[in-house]
Amino acid sequence: MPRKKKSIEPNKINLRESFASLKFVPRFFKEIRKVNPLLFHSNVICRVINASLPVLILYVGKLIIDEVVVQIAAEEKNLDHLWILVAAEFGLAILSDLISRGISLSDALLGDQYSIDTSVRIIKKTSELNLDQLEDSEFYDKLERARQQTTGRVALMSNIFTQGEDVVVILSLLGGVVAYEPCLIILLLVSIIPTIINEIKFSGTSYSLARSWTQERRELDYLRYAGASDVTAKEVKLFGLSGYLAQRFKSLSDKYYTQSRKLARQRAGWGSFFNIIGTSAYYGAYIYIIFRTVAGVFSIGTLVFLSGAFNRLRSKLQGFFTRFTAITESALYLQDYFEFIDLSFAENASAECLPLPDKVSSGFEFKNVGFKYPKSEKWVVRNINFKLKAGEKLAFVGENGAGKTTLIKLLLRFYEPTEGEILLDGIPVKQYKPSEYQQYFGVIFQDFVKFELTLRENIAMGEIEEIKNQKRIDSAAQKSLAQEVVSELPLGYNQQLGKRFKNGKDLSGGQWQKIAIARAYMKDAEVLILDEPTSALDARAETEAFQRFIQLTEGKTAVIISHRFSTVRIADRIMVLKDGAVLEIGTHEELMQNDKLYAELFNLQAAGYK
C-alpha cells in the first residue's frame, strides 16, 4: 500500500513559546519537593555550598603561588603559611568532591522517585478519562508525549538546579575578575555572544521536530511491535510479512533520520564556528593578562587566578546558555505532561448528582436513543426503544456491525447518547455519577483483556479489593468452570499467565474465556453483561457455561450478546438489531412465530447442525 506523502517539516517553536513553557517549572519543583522533601532540601543546600567552592579554590590557588614566589625570593624560608594554604585547598577539593557526589546521588534518587510518581499519575489519569477521549488519536499523541521524556524530566530537574548553582558560581567569579581587572568583562562578553546567538537560533528545534513526529513515532512503535512480537509472530511468519514490515519501518525511520541529521549538522557546524570566535576572545584575554603580568601589574598568582577565572567564567556562561535551551526544550515536554494530567473528564460531578439506589427495582429503559461516535457523522444506532427489566435475561442478536456492543457501551455510560435518554427505574441515568453508576455492572467484553499476570490476579481483577479472599476466588472459578484450568496448571492460582514473562503459561482461547467469566462472577454486580463470552468455548462447554450462568444469576439482570442461537434461546427475551435499529423483540417462541430475521437466522443455524 503506497504511503500518503506527508509534510514533515517541523513547526518551529519560537523563543517566546520556549520562554512560556517555563511557567510550568515552579509547579514541577513543587511536585518534586512533595515526592521527598528531605532529599529535595538536602540537594538545594549541597548545591548552594558547591556553588561557592570554585572561586574559593581558585583564590587559594592564587595565594599558594604568590606565597611560593615570596618564599623563593626570601633568604630565610618559612613554609608554615604555605602548608596551611595547601591544606586548605586540599580540604576544599575533598569537600567539593563529596558534595558533588552527594548532589549526583540525591539527583538520581529524586529523579527515580519523581519518575515513578509521574508514571503512576499517568496510569491513574488514563483510567479517569472517558472512552471517547481514549479512542481519539489526538489524545493518544498527548498520552505518548506525556509518557515520553520520563527520563528527560529527571534531567530537567538536575539542569535547573545546576543552572541556579551556576548563577552563584558566575557571580562569584565575576566579582573576582572585576576586583582585579574590570575591562576583562568586555572580552568576556565578546567570547560569550556567539554562544547566545547559536542557542537562540536553535532554540526549540529538536522539540519541534520530535513533536511534529509524535504520530509517526507511534506508527514506528506499532510497526516494531507488529514485526517483532509473539502475538503477531504466527501470521508474520506464515505470510512472510517481516520484509514488508521491516521496509515500512525503515522508510519511515529514514525520513526522521534525514530530518534529525540535517538539524544535528547545522547545530554542529554553527556551534564550531561560534566556538572559534569564543576561544579567540579567551586567548585575547589571556595575552592581555600575560602582558600585564610581565609589566609587573599582576603577580604570577593573579595571572593564574585571572586566566583560570576567565576560562571558567566563559565555560560556565556558555554552559548556562546551552543549558537554558535544553531547559526550555524539556519544559516544553513538561507542558505536554501537565496538559495531560490536567485533561478534564466529563464526569458529572455537579452537586445535584443523585445517590445511586442499592438495587435495580424496575429496570432500565432506552427511550428514543440515537448515537453517533465522536467525530463521525454516521448514526450507529437510532430510535432505540426497549426495556431491560430487573431480573430479566435479555439477549442481543444481529449481524456484525448492527450496533450491539454500542448499546452496551451506552448502557454502561462509556458514551452518552447523542439523542434520547436512558432511564434507571424511571430516572435518567445522567443524574448519577458515571463512576458510581458503573459499579452496578459486571462485564465481560468480547475483547476482554488477557492480563499477563498470575491466574489469581486475572480472576480477582473483577473485584481487586478481594484478591486475598480465596473463598470468593474459588467460588468464581467454580461457577465459570475456570477451576478445571486451575487444576491443570502446575502452580495453580499462582501460575503466571502469558508468554511474556519467565515461567509464564499461555492458555487456549476457551481457557482464557473461562477465566474472564470468573472475573464477572467475582464481582457481585447488580447487572451482568456478557458480550460474546463463549465464542471460543466448545459446544459442550458453552451450553454448560450458559446453563450455569442462568442458574447462578437467578434474579439478577443480565444482557447477553451471542451469535449462537442455541445460547440465545435460553434468554428470557431476545432483541434483534439490524442496521442500528430494533427489528423485533420477544421470547424465542414469539420471534419464531413472528417469522422475520430471528426465525430466518435461527433456522439457518439449525440447518447447519443437521
CB-count burial class (<10 Å; 0-12, 13-18, 19+) for 570: middle
Residue 402 or 481: the one with the smaller Cβ distance to ligand ATP is 402
Which region, judged by CB under 6 A, interacts with ligand ATP, from 33-41, 289-297, 298-306, 372-380?
Answer: 372-380
Residue 132 or 392: the one with the smaller Cβ distance to ligand ATP is 132
Contact call for residues 63 and 305 (beta carbons, < 8 A): no
Residue 210 or 369: the one with the smaller Cβ distance to ligand ATP is 369
Interacting residue with ligand ATP among 406, 496, 562, 567 (CB under 6 A): 406
The DSSP result for 327-392, as a single string, is HHHHHHHHHHHHHHHT--------TTPPPPPSS-SSEEEEEEEEE--TT--S-SEEEEEEEEETT-
Is residue 530 a contact point for ligand ATP (CB under 6 A)? no
Which region, judged by CB under 6 A, interacts with ligand ATP, from 90-98, 302-310, 394-402, 493-501?
Answer: 394-402
Interacting residue with ligand ATP among 176, 227, 398, 510 (CB under 6 A): 398
* Count of residues interacting with ligand ATP (CB under 6 A): 12
CB-count burial class (<10 Å; 0-12, 13-18, 19+) for 53: middle
Residue 466 or 579: the one with the smaller Cβ distance to ligand ATP is 579
Is residue 417 a contact point for ligand ATP (CB under 6 A)? no
Residue 243 or 374: the one with the smaller Cβ distance to ligand ATP is 374
Is residue 397 a contact point for ligand ATP (CB under 6 A)? no
Is residue 403 a contact point for ligand ATP (CB under 6 A)? yes
Residue 357 or 401: the one with the smaller Cβ distance to ligand ATP is 401
Residue 7 or 400: the one with the smaller Cβ distance to ligand ATP is 400
Q: In what order do the strands lie in the sheet with 363-371?
A: 381-389, 363-371, 419-424, 427-428
Is residue 401 a contact point for ligand ATP (CB under 6 A)? yes
Is residue 376 a contact point for ligand ATP (CB under 6 A)? yes
* 200-239 residues near ligand ATP, rule: CB under 6 A: none
Is residue 551 a contact point for ligand ATP (CB under 6 A)? no
The DSSP result for 90-153, as a single string, is HHHHHHHHHHHHHHHHHHHHHHHHHHHHHHHHHHHHHHHS-HHHHT-HHHHHHHHHHHTTHHHH
Residue 406 or 553: the one with the smaller Cβ distance to ligand ATP is 406
Distances (CA, A) of 261 to 204, 211, 220, 255: 16, 16, 18, 10
Is residue 278 a contact point for ligand ATP (CB under 6 A)? no
Is residue 402 a contact point for ligand ATP (CB under 6 A)? yes
- Which among 200, 171, 163, 185 has a CA at the least distance from the CA of 274? 200
Contact call for residues 446 and 396 (beta carbons, < 8 A): no
d(CA 65, CA 74) in angstroms, rounded, equals 14
Interacting residue with ligand ATP among 7, 350, 400, 487 (CB under 6 A): 400
Is residue 574 a contact point for ligand ATP (CB under 6 A)? no
Is residue 535 a contact point for ligand ATP (CB under 6 A)? no
d(CA 315, CA 306) in angstroms, rounded, equals 14
Contact call for residues 381 and 560 (beta carbons, < 8 A): no
Residue 307 or 406: the one with the smaller Cβ distance to ligand ATP is 406
Residue 409 or 472: the one with the smaller Cβ distance to ligand ATP is 409
Is residue 373 a contact point for ligand ATP (CB under 6 A)? yes
The torsion angle over the Cα atoms of residues 596, 601, 606 and 609, rounded to 10 degrees, is 160
DSSP 505: B
Q: Shortest Cβ distance from residue 340 to ligand ATP (Å)?
A: 21
The DSSP result for 236-249, as a single string, is HHHTT-HHHHHHHH
Are β-strands 557-561 and 363-371 bridged in parallel, bridged antiparallel, or unpaired? unpaired
Which region, judged by CB under 6 A, interacts with ligand ATP, from 225-233, 303-311, 399-407, 542-550?
Answer: 399-407
Q: Shortest Cβ distance from residue 535 to ligand ATP (Å)?
A: 10
Is residue 405 a contact point for ligand ATP (CB under 6 A)? yes
Q: Strand, coil or helix: what is 54?
A: helix
d(CA 198, CA 48) in angstroms, rounded, equals 29
Q: Shortest Cβ distance from residue 526 to ligand ATP (Å)?
A: 23
Is residue 135 a contact point for ligand ATP (CB under 6 A)? yes
Residue 270 or 373: the one with the smaller Cβ distance to ligand ATP is 373
Which residue type occupies 483? Q
Q: Which residues of the shown chain bind ligand ATP in the complex (CB under 6 A)? A: 135, 373, 376, 380, 398, 400-406
